[in-house]
Amino acid sequence: MVCGRLDLKAIVWTRYGHPEGLELAEVAKPVPKQDEVLIRVGATTVSAGDCELRGLKVSLGLRVLFRLYAGLRKPNRKILGQEFAGTVEAIGRGVERFKLGDRVFGTTGLAFGAYAEYVCLPVETRGAVLAMKPANMTDEEAASIPMGGLEALRYLREGNLRRGQNVLIIGAGGSIGVVAVQLAKYFGTEVTAVDRTEKLGLLRSVGADLVIDFLHEDFRKAGSTYDVVFDVVGKSRFSQNLSVVKPNGVYLRANPGILSMISRSGRSRRGGVSVIAGAASPTAEDLVFLKGLIETGRVKAAIDRQYPLEQVPDAHRYVESGTARGKVVITVGQPDRT
């Protein structure tokens, strides 16, 4: 992208490893290309994917791939952050879907860049997704939806949920799981949500019919089976989890970090169970669908903590603690009260 003068604040990624490598700095304000819009960011978030990439906390093979993508010795993609809400401030000559002043939300995909006061985004490209912001949400609320919402929607659609089915969501208290609970209820299913003690209240509040505290109860020994199992975190034993899926049921195997964004959709069949891993790429139509559910009250934001831009390192530490209930949001500039 073309750069303008040095007059915007951003969190710059200076080195791999600890959150201390994220530093507040002034960078060049981007200028949109023909197919891009310039967005003044109102809010962004800290995701598990941001933390994984920053710290390279992945397998050795993926670590090599990440370094090839992001820089061998130090990051050359200087600004992290994948989801946002804000206002269109400039548009390229070839852009017709948006106009100046539009309030929007979306994701940058693996281009990142949302930890800044401004970001340029192509409006028609694989990975980046942009839509008009829900009218009943602030920037902070809207920024908390796209990544988790799109991931949850694509997986549940792959699982072909039907009214009257019962669904188990493992790791339901994170950004994907919280939206997945609400979507599964919208599709007419009975939802059992699994997570740690401090997240159970949140899960009840967004519609879970039953909750299980995995710190005190093993859902695999409870004797219940499910039409669909959605394993959001992908850290529990896959072979053991299959035991709770009904014959001819569906097992959705997700990963809320970087791995899910670079993997492709795959299907297999094990013991009469359809196994689906690696959700397909999200689309603007998916985000518009979520916007409609938000505006009719079917899906709501779940924000645990909010930090100002300069405290992004603290937000990374909190996300990595694994205790966040819902989303961790970064306010860029003044909080949005609309």
Confirm whether 2-145+301-331 and 147-277 share one CATH topology.
Answer: no
CB 15 within 8 A of CB 21: yes
- Contact (Cβ atoms closer than 8 angstroms) between residue 305 and residue 324: yes
What CATH code is assigned to 147-277? 3.40.50.720
pLDDT at 26 over 60: yes
- The answer to which of 141-155, 162-176, 255-269 has the lowest mean pLDDT is 255-269
Q: Token match 């896959």: residue?
A: 238
- Hey, what are 297's tokens? 């009250």
Euclidean distance between CA atoms 274 and 155, whole angstroms? 13
Surface-to-core class of residue 287, CB atoms within 10 Å of its CB (0-12 exposed, 13-18 middle, 19+ buried) = buried
Count other C-beta atoms under 10 Å from residue 323's C-beta: 12
155-176: average pLDDT: 94
Q: What is the mean pLDDT of the chain?
A: 89
Examine the pLDDT at 4 and tell me if it is beyond 70: no
The upper half-sphere exposure of residue 235, i.e. CA atoms within 13 Å in the direction of its Cβ, equals 10
Q: Which residue has the higher pLDDT, 335 or 204?
A: 204
Number of neighbours of residue 189 by Cβ within 10 angstroms: 22
| DSSP code per residue over 109-151 | GGG---SBSEEEEESSSSS-EEEEPPTT--HHHHHTSHHHHHH
More confident of the two residues 224 and 272: 224
In whole angstroms, what is the distance from residue 263 CA to residue 56 CA?
A: 17
pLDDT tens-digit profile of 75-113?
877 899 999 999 999 999 999 999 999 999 999 988 899
**Can you tell me whether residue 331 is helix, strand or coil?**
strand
Q: Where are the chain's structural domains? A: 2-145+301-331, 147-277
Cα–Cα dist 124/283, whole Å: 10
Among 167-176, 182-191, 259-268, 292-301, the range scoring the smallest mean pLDDT is 259-268
Just give the CATH number of 2-145+301-331.
3.90.180.10
The residue type of 291 is K
What average pLDDT does the segment 139-166 reach? Answer: 95
Confidence of residue 2 (pLDDT cuts 50, 70, 90): very low
